[in-house]
Amino acid sequence: MSQNIDRADTHRVHERFEWYQHRDAMIAFAVRWAPFGGGTVEDIWTEFGLPERVYFLRMRQVLSGPTPPGLDDVSWERLRRVCDERIHLTDPDTPPTDQLPA
């Protein structure tokens, strides 16, 4: 029984973080589309195979980390704002990043 739980837990952890390998592609996409308020629902689906809300929730996780090399803090903050705005559009009850508990 313990072996089955271990396999299930391992699979769940792998699934949970597998998408993170696309972090750089997600950031590049976000930077490219930020001036337009983020990518369209269709572009997000085509590029990542994700619904809009899932993409922006994952981007919120990415954006909670440090600013990567090649981007300045102002651009990183703009990406956070775009992400928060799009999440809010898909679910007005979701608080912006700056209102989440630390």
pLDDT digits over 60-92, tens only? Answer: 999 988 888 899 999 999 999 999 999 988 876
Q: What is the model's pTM?
A: 0.70
**Residues 36-41: what's their mean pLDDT?**
94
Residue 12's Cβ-side half-sphere holds a number of Cα atoms within 13 Å equal to 6
Counted domains in the chain: 1
Q: Is residue 10 part of a domain?
A: no
CA proximity to 77, closest of 89, 63, 59: 63
| Dihedral in degrees, nearest 10, Cα atoms 22, 27, 28, 32 | 140
Q: Distance between CA 84 and CA 94 in Å, rounded?
A: 9
Q: Is residue 89 part of a domain?
A: yes
Q: Is residue 1 part of a domain?
A: no
Q: What is the pLDDT of residue 13?
A: 46
Count of CB atoms within 10 A of residue 7's CB? 10
Instruction: Tell me which residue range forms the domain holding 71.
Output: 22-99
